[in-house]
């Protein structure tokens, strides 16, 4: 059952991330897929490490909220 639930969560995340803007998708990809640091991401997208941290925190809140929507409804 846990494997099925994990697959469904991954499927939902894939759909949600695909709906993000290009810069937000880039931050997610660089951080979680390519394991880049916030400083490296900042240099790549042309913003400060602090701004990447803010963006990442905001994105995580949005993703959590979107994942919780079906459970609440």
pLDDT tens digits for the chain (73 residues)? 888 888 988 899 999 999 999 999 999 999 999 999 999 999 999 999 999 999 999 999 999 998 887 665 5
pTM, two decimals, is 0.80
Residue 71 pLDDT: 60
Kindly list the distances between the CA atom of residue 35 and the CA atoms of 15, 30, 38, in Å, as whole numbers in the listed order: 21, 6, 9
CA distance 4 to 6: 5
The pLDDT score that the predictor gives to residue 73 is 52
Exposed, middle or buried, 52 (CB in 10 Å: 0-12/13-18/19+)? buried
- What pLDDT was estimated at residue 39? 97
User: Residue 14 and residue 20: Cα distance in Å, rounded?
Assistant: 10
Q: What residue ranges define each of the domains in the chain, with the CATH number in brackets?
A: 2-72 (1.10.10.10)
């Amino acid at each position: 059952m846990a494997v099925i639930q994990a697959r469904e969560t991954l499927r939902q995340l894939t759909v949600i991330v695909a709906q993000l803007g290009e810069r937000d998708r880039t931050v997610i990809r660089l951080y979680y897929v390519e394991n880049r640091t916030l400083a490296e991401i900042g240099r790549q997208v042309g913003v400060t490490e602090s701004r990447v941290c803010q963006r990442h925190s905001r994105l995580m809140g949005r993703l959590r909220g979107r994942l919780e929507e079906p459970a609440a409804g």
